[in-house]
Amino acid sequence: MQNGNEQENYTLVTEFVLLGLTQNHEVQIILFFFFLLFYMIILPGNILIIFTIWGNSQLGSPMYFFLANLAFLDICYCFITPPKMLADFFSHRNTISYNACMAQLFFLHFLGAAEAFLLMVMAYDRYVAICKPLHYNRLVNRGVCWVLVGATWGGGFIHGIILFALSIHLPLCGPNILDNFFCDAHQLIKLACANTSIMELLMFLNNGVVIVMCFTLLLISYTILLLKLQTQSSKAKNKVASTCVSHIIVVFVMCGPAVYIYGLPFQAVPMEKVVAVFHTVIFPLMNPMIYTLRNKEIKGLMWKLVSKHILQR
């Protein structure tokens, strides 16, 4: 049983020091302009995808509805860690308050899990379209789409709030240095000043096991779909195969780094910072673009929208 002094010590940590990506000032400047340029190009592209889909009735199918939601999720996701990271490139002492750290952790896993669940919904959509085409309009109508999207947000919220609840109960009494550019549960637990074996297990079950299961189920489902395409006509096969390949690329892009970081229970992994950059900064905004660049229909409508409202001004 812990005494009162120990309990008081647990409240001493009020902020964390983030070591960031690098301590080299020249490298920091290069990274700042690289990430800033990336966001200036890709972020408007994701916004354009949403406006294009919502503004064109010919893109009213469930596949595009889910794509617009994916773009919106990714836009929200990119405002969790990058703004703080960019600001820290010009700061001599990079700190984040305890409350901001907990908020960052919650939203990172809330939106990350919601996106993983949305990818599973998109896999279900492709399964019904390929395997049960005659029942597609009944099984994936607009009402069902809204329910499925709501479920992804709800599932993400539950996932994030569980991890948040576990994290705020970590006994933190120093040190307060995080060797990364953002707060995450598997980093905070290393700072705990008590036996956290049970909490580590609970976090791993809620985090590592969930993402590994999502990744495995998605790979199995798309493998089955690609095998099912062998019975389709040549024209239909090429069109559906192109869509499935886009989905598979996004599955690897989204889930691959997450499995690498969270798949092993609280073990240090090589190049974790580099993988975390791609997972939290680069890949989220790239996901909708991957779908778009492989789809002639939406590319044509996006160009029309740009030509009408921007280039002709």
Residues 212-251: pLDDT tens digits? 999 999 989 888 888 877 766 666 667 677 778 888 888 8
Does 9 reside within a domain?
no
pLDDT digits 0-9 by tens, 164-223:
999 998 888 878 888 889 998 888 888 888 888 888 888 888 888 889 999 999 989 888
Q: Is residue 205 part of a domain?
A: yes
* Residue 90, pLDDT score: 86
The per-residue pLDDT for 311 is 60
220 lies in some domain: yes
What is the number of structural domains in the chain?
A: 1
Q: Is residue 237 part of a domain?
A: yes
Please check the confidence at residue 4 and state whether its pLDDT lies above 50: no
Q: Which residue type occupies 313?
A: R
Q: Establish if 188 belongs to a structural domain.
A: yes
What is the reported pLDDT for 153? 97
Query: What's the CATH code of the domain at 49?
Result: 1.20.1070.10
**Are the C-beta atoms of residues 61 and 239 closer than 8 Å to each other?**
no
* pLDDT (0 to 100) of residue 6: 45
pLDDT at 8: 45
pLDDT at 270: 76
Give the structural domain span for 119: 24-307
With a cut of 50, say whether residue 1 has pLDDT above it. no
Residue 225 located in a structural domain: yes
Residue 313: inside a domain, yes or no? Answer: no
Domain-located, residue 218: yes
| pTM summary value | 0.87
